[in-house]
A and B are shown apart, each in its own frame.
Chain A
């Protein structure tokens, strides 16, 4: 699967959509929609909503996160927004302000 990698020096002032996996170390001001796995690196920042199959955040996200499978807030993550996912982990050292919504697993 083709993978998208955004380097730390890059800024996207707009939205990103991808069917594959995405690793973000840069900065995105628009929404991010990924069908696969979205990794937000330690230097990555997203200033809008995020939707992905799996989301793992080590950087900053200001917006709601929706993970169809799971959402992982790693150490050093900073999240200002709500999370909607069937599974959520918040590591020690992650900053999180928002609400969590989990739908009962069927």
Chain B
């Protein structure tokens, strides 16, 4: 096991077996090999090897990382990150050197190069960002490996503007989140209004609406009724339709339901309505 000589004593390699599950943070010195599942952050000084079949849900920080398993969380390497073909990473990759093999699944931003602090030549980093197999010229290794986290974050805004295509990926993602939430609230309220029982919504609509609008559907119904019931007298049909459909429009405020006036018509009535009026017909039964 090749390990850095920085760890003098406890340079023990830890192994998390394939059937092991750790819920919680892992921290410490030495290298770690994960074949099982970890739900928590990992911060070690040394090598971290996420083997195939392993799953890490949490942020990872190590000196050098080799990922051929699944990682959901930010990955930060003080020296390097290597995502192999079987690897899956959803999160931010941050290291001076990053390698992604063909077939790897990576979603998130990638930041390579040296921290800004040491006045690293930035022109080497941006063009080589997208896919890196080989070793890019990593000029200064002495550039604060211990405090890698803070300076690299500071270096991030520097490098973003240069490759515009990749920044768009990030910028496309966040916007849906905010508007959707605000819009969903409105939509929910609207849905709540709409999802009231149809009868009530109709009642409220028609009773609240001015008399002119109310008269429109009524007259339409009258016309339909006249067409449909030729044998009956027009005056009577109009009377019954007016008597039975206006109270249904405003059932609460409606005067009466004189169903008993003509039983034959009351029986035949529910069949007439179309589409929306089906609810009325059902409700009447």
Chain A residues packing against B (C-beta within 8 Å): 1-22, 25-26, 29-30
Q: Lowest 8 CB-CB distances: which A-B pairs, in order?
A: A14-B24, A9-B29, A7-B12, A2-B17, A10-B28, A18-B20, A19-B19, A7-B14
6 contacts between A and B (CB under 8 A): A7-B13, A7-B31, A8-B12, A9-B44, A11-B26, A13-B40
Chain B contact-residue range equals: 20 to 34
Given contacts A7-B14, A17-B20, A19-B19, is CB(A2)–CB(B26) below 8 Å?
no
Q: Is B169 among interface residues, defined by CB-CB distance under 8 A?
A: no
Q: Bound state CA distance, A85 and B83, in angstroms?
A: 45
Q: Is the CB of A10 within 8 A of B26?
A: yes
Across the two chains, which residue of chain A brings its CB closest to B14? A7
**Shortest beta-carbon distance from A40 to chain B in Å:** 14
Q: Bound state CA distance, A35 and B173, in angstroms?
A: 43
The count of A-to-B residue pairs whose CB atoms sit within 8 angstroms is: 99
Q: Is the CB of A14 within 8 A of B23?
A: yes
Residues of chain B with a CB closer than 8 A to A15's CB:
22-24
Other-chain residue from A3, A4, A9, A12 in contact with B25 (beta carbon distance below 8 A) = A12
Q: Is B18 among interface residues, defined by CB-CB distance under 8 A?
A: yes
**Shortest beta-carbon distance from A56 to chain B in Å:** 18
Other-chain residue from B17, B27, B28 in contact with A3 (beta carbon distance below 8 A) = B17
Q: Is the CB of A12 within 8 A of B24?
A: yes
Residues of chain A with a CB closer than 8 A to B36's CB:
2, 4, 18
Using A1-B19, A7-B12, A18-B21 as known contacts, list a sample of 8 further A-B pairs with CB atoms less than 8 Å apart, ordered by residue number in A.
A2-B20, A7-B13, A8-B12, A9-B12, A9-B28, A9-B30, A13-B40, A16-B23
Other-chain residue from A2, A10, A16, A17 in contact with B35 (beta carbon distance below 8 A) = A2
Give a binary string over B34-45; 1 marks a CB under 8 Å from any A CB, 0 the rest.
011001100010
Q: Bound state CA distance, A6 and B34, in angstroms?
A: 11
Across the two chains, which residue of chain A brings its CB closest to B37? A17
Q: Is the CB of B19 within 8 A of A20?
A: yes
